[in-house]
Structure 1
Amino acid sequence: MASQKRSFMISLPTTDITAAIRFGTALGFKPNQAPEDTTVHFECNESFGIFYSTHPVFGKWLPSGREVVSAKTANEVVLTVSVSSKEEVDALVERGIEAGGKRGPNMVPEGGSGCGYIYSRSVEDPDGHLFEIIHHTSCGPEDDSKEDDN
């Protein structure tokens, strides 16, 4: 019997499934909405997905006594998405904003992080979850001609 390939799923609460679908689709993720309109699964690639559910549904999965918090007032996680170019970073952030998101902070200072060159921008989804979009290359910002297209 073949073993199932491992995959990783992030579950996020949302106050508005329609807004979550619009935002995730704008970032290029493929939605697979459940028929009851309280959840949506985004297939980001073959081994990673994001699962949005309404606060009442999300709350059912939490231990007794725990509350669903608003990502607009508290953060527990930053979702980082790696893309193939600086232009794609900027384009995804702009598409996220056009889809109801809000520009987030620049996570990495201009010039990289000290571990190779990282170009980073961020965007919040309509619920306040923070998505960092990055492009990473081993060459410095002054030599983008050496970037790898992987």
Structure 2
Amino acid sequence: MSTQIFVNLTTTDLDRSKAFYTALGCEINPLFTDENAACVVWDEQVFFMVLTHEHFGQFTEKPLADPTTSAQVIVALSRDSRDDVDATLVAGLAAGGREPREPQDYGFMYSRTIEDPDGNILEFLYMDPAAAEQGPESYLADNA
């Protein structure tokens, strides 16, 4: 069995979050979705559990961070191309997301950052396959 990743995020508006993530191309798994949580399916291995603040609070004794004012985690997801990175951001911005900084282009890697409507930070990136296999220095030396 391969490892699956479940990222838990908080939301103040579950319906708004479901609309945002479906606009990015995700599906909602109805078997694990109710009035407290939504299971956002990125692919067969990666899922976001978007939880209301009250529901999320049941899983920790720590105070919840407000993602509009505090960064606790940046979730980075790869895309198949630079165009896919851009298309994902365009869809997310149209669905209420916010791009807090300019795109980052390192030659071997291109990334863009978006905050979902609750302020959770997502980064979408494309990395050249040669750089992923050989490391960025090798890629930059070969493409100088």
Structure 1 pair 35–79 and aligned structure 2 pair: CA distance change class (3 A): closer
Aligned counterpart in structure 1 of residue 124 of structure 2, from 124, 133, 147: 133
Distance across 1 between alignment mates of 2:46 and 2:64: 23
Structure 2 equivalent of residue 111 of structure 1 = 106
Give the alignment's Cα RMSD to 1 decimal: 1.8
Q: Which has the higher helix share?
A: 2
Runs of 5+ unmatched residues, structure 2 = 132-138
Aligned amino acid, residue 98 of structure 1: A
Q: Is the 8 A contact 1:107 1:132 kept in 2?
A: no
Provide the secondary structure at the position in 1 that maps to 2:42: strand
Runs of 5+ unmatched residues, structure 1 = 144-150
Structure 2 equivalent of residue 93 of structure 1 = 89
**Percent of aligned positions that are identical:** 27
- Measured after TM superposition, the shift of residue 36 of structure 1 is 3.4
Structure 2 equivalent of residue 17 of structure 1 = 14
Aligned residues: 131
- Measured after TM superposition, the shift of residue 107 of structure 1 is 6.5
- Measured after TM superposition, the shift of residue 28 of structure 1 is 1.3
Instruction: Detail structure 1 runs of 4+ shifted over 4 Å in the superposition.
Output: none
TM (normalized to structure 2)?
Answer: 0.83
Q: Is the 8 A contact 2:33 2:39 kept in 1?
A: no
- Measured after TM superposition, the shift of residue 35 of structure 1 is 5.5
Aligned counterpart in structure 1 of residue 63 of structure 2, from 63, 67, 80: 67
TM (normalized to structure 1)?
Answer: 0.80
Provide the secondary structure at the position in 2 that maps to 1:23: helix
